[in-house]
Amino acid sequence: MTNALASASRVNQPFDYKYNRDGWISIAINMGSSRKAVLFISKSDSEEDIAKIRDMLLNAGIEFIEYNIDEEPAGCCGGFRTETPSLFAPEGIFRGVDGIVGYIKARMDGSLYSSESAYW
């Protein structure tokens, strides 16, 4: 495959690849420029509260993924438990509806510390 064909076929893929002189393929994974927040929810949460949090995050332009902790199997360590709803964001952990709403307001005001760390 030529480099032009390789370039054309990788549009919107989460990785880049190219051939070097020796015929080896070099792959670089595109991690994106920012980390997304993780919204932890469970079946015991109020649907109204979760809908309110989703809408506020979307309206504020905060990228997030949703994780339902009830779908986590028990596994070897006895399962996963945390207070829900909770938001694990690059700037910290925010628990409960009030904590998440406070985070959204502070983020929109620009009054949050932004970490440059690659690790949480």
Q: Read off the pLDDT of residues 56-87 as tens digits, 9 standing for 90 and up.
A: 999 999 999 998 888 766 655 556 677 899 99
Measured in degrees and rounded to the nearest 5, phi and psi for residue 103 equal: -60, -45
Instruction: Please state which of the four CATH numbers 3.40.1390.40, 3.40.30.10, 3.90.320.10, 3.90.226.10 is assigned to the domain occupying 37-109.
Output: 3.40.30.10
20 Cβ neighbours under 8 A, 6+ residues apart: 26
Predicted local distance difference test score (pLDDT) of residue 66: 92
Q: Read off the pLDDT of residues 35-50 as tens digits, 9 standing for 90 and up.
A: 889 999 998 999 999 9
pTM above 0.75, yes or no: no
> What are the extents of the domains in the chain?
1-31, 37-109
